[in-house]
Amino acid sequence: MQHWPPTMYGDMAEYLVANGEVQLQKRLMGDYKDGKAFSYFDSGFINEVLYHPINENSNVCFVKSTSGRSQRKNDEAHRVWVALQKSTGKIRTAYCSCFAGLGSTCNHVAGVLFKMDHAWATGVTNKSCTSKPAEWTKPRKNANTDARKIKDMEWRSPNWSKGKDRPPINTTARKLFKPTGERSKPSLEELMSDLYVSSKGACAFKYGMPTATAAFPTEHDMKVEDVVELETCVSVPLPLPDLVTLPSLPTFNTEQVDALAKATKSQSSNPTWKQQRVGRITASMARPVMVMADKFKAGSTVSRSVLDALLGRTSAPSDIPAIKYGNRMEPIVPLKHQEVSMKTQYLQV
């Protein structure tokens, strides 16, 4: 797996859009946790993924796998292969032996790609030399889909970011519930007790109808003495290229700084963030700027590449594996940080 290309979630969306599968892209990318394609991966239907480099000079490689059938488990598994760009992980084309796979896109192809994305997101394909040896668990060729009674099953909601430690949806109280049994009319205490089992944070309100009408119209509750027009200022400061055109640089209060922080969330997918970072020494630009300053003090020739990047004239290619991995993990890291903070009783996230 260490030879797998960096094929991630964004590459799947780009490939589907490029193939004209806009509706399939919305379905697979928008609700992937509840979708059929992700369930193929999450339920273990996707078997071992094999890699072939073709040759050393080729910039394209192949990965192939098989996917168990969701309805007829004894039938032959679907055969899936995907052609990928070695350096960027870009999807060139794909195929599946199912009917929909003849058009290069289907749920089985997406299931294999979900498995590759999961391997990259969890670091399985990029283990450091100090890490312990890891091996992907090879799933069984035939998934266990034996018939069972509903009361004997454990229903779990697929969730990509939380792994396999997920509590079942049907708790013990739900399994023991018998809607046809002889029961007396439930009291309020019994209703609240049963509600607490499934929804511990729920609350109940009792609605009371008014017994008397108001003695005067509702609009009489408000009496306008005077109308004053107030001029409001822009909450988010202007980008730096616009600020330098002013006679003097303004100072910002705490509210404006907080508004700027909120307006630039989601970073790479936020146009405001890209506008505001132009001309500013961000964390990613701090070291190159310090090195450039040291060279300038020493009298050495300073490259314009740092200035071009600082002023937004150039940018790093978006298909670099490190940048792709950062964009892929960007929405997951705050949730993981919040989870760790809650466990350590540190609530200021």
| DSSP 8-state class, residue 166 | -
What pLDDT sits at residue 61? Answer: 92
Q: Token digits for 220?
A: 């009489």
Whether residue 291 lies inside any domain: the answer is: no
CA distance 275 to 278: 6
Q: Token digits for 183?
A: 């029961």
Whether residue 117 lies inside any domain: the answer is: yes
Q: How confident is the model at residue 349 (pLDDT cuts 50, 70, 90)?
A: very low
**112 φ/ψ angles, rounded to the nearest 5 degrees:** -65, -40
CA distance 86 to 89: 6
Q: How confident is the model at residue 30 (pLDDT cuts 50, 70, 90)?
A: low
Q: Is the pTM of this model over 0.75?
A: no
What pLDDT sits at residue 254? Answer: 86
Average pLDDT over residues 199-225: 69
How many independent structural domains does the chain possess? 1
Across the chain, mean pLDDT equals: 77
Pairing of strands 91-96, 60-67: unpaired
Helices (H) and strands (E) in the chain, counts: 13, 4
**275 φ/ψ angles, rounded to the nearest 5 degrees:** -70, -40
Is the pLDDT reported for residue 175 higher than 70? yes
Whether residue 211 lies inside any domain: the answer is: no
Handedness of CA 8, 13, 14, 16 (dihedral sign): positive
Q: How confident is the model at residue 170 (pLDDT cuts 50, 70, 90)?
A: confident
Whether residue 22 lies inside any domain: the answer is: yes
Is the pLDDT reported for residue 217 higher than 80? no
CA distance 174 to 115: 33
Whether residue 92 lies inside any domain: the answer is: yes
Interval 70-113: pLDDT, tens:
777 778 888 999 999 988 888 888 888 887 767 777 888 888 88
Whether residue 44 lies inside any domain: the answer is: yes
Interval 253-288: pLDDT, tens:
888 888 888 888 877 778 888 888 888 888 888 888
Q: Token digits for 53?
A: 């480099």
Q: Where are the alpha helices (DSSP H) in the chain?
A: 9-18, 22-30, 36-42, 107-121, 172-176, 188-198, 240-243, 254-263, 271-276, 283-297, 304-310, 321-329, 332-343
**163 φ/ψ angles, rounded to the nearest 5 degrees:** 70, -150
Residue 90 and residue 81 in contact, taking contact as beta carbons nearer than 8 Å: no
Maximum mean pLDDT: which of 186-195, 280-289, 334-343: 280-289
CA distance 215 to 193: 42
Maximum mean pLDDT: which of 48-62, 135-149, 209-223, 330-344: 48-62
Whether residue 89 lies inside any domain: the answer is: yes
CA distance 195 to 193: 5
Q: Note down the domain range covering 55.
A: 9-126
Query: Lowest-pLDDT range, 36-40, 101-105, 120-124?
Result: 101-105
More confident site: 296 or 233: 296
Q: Token digits for 222?
A: 């408000």
CA distance 7 to 42: 18
What pLDDT sits at residue 83? Answer: 92
Whether residue 132 lies inside any domain: the answer is: no
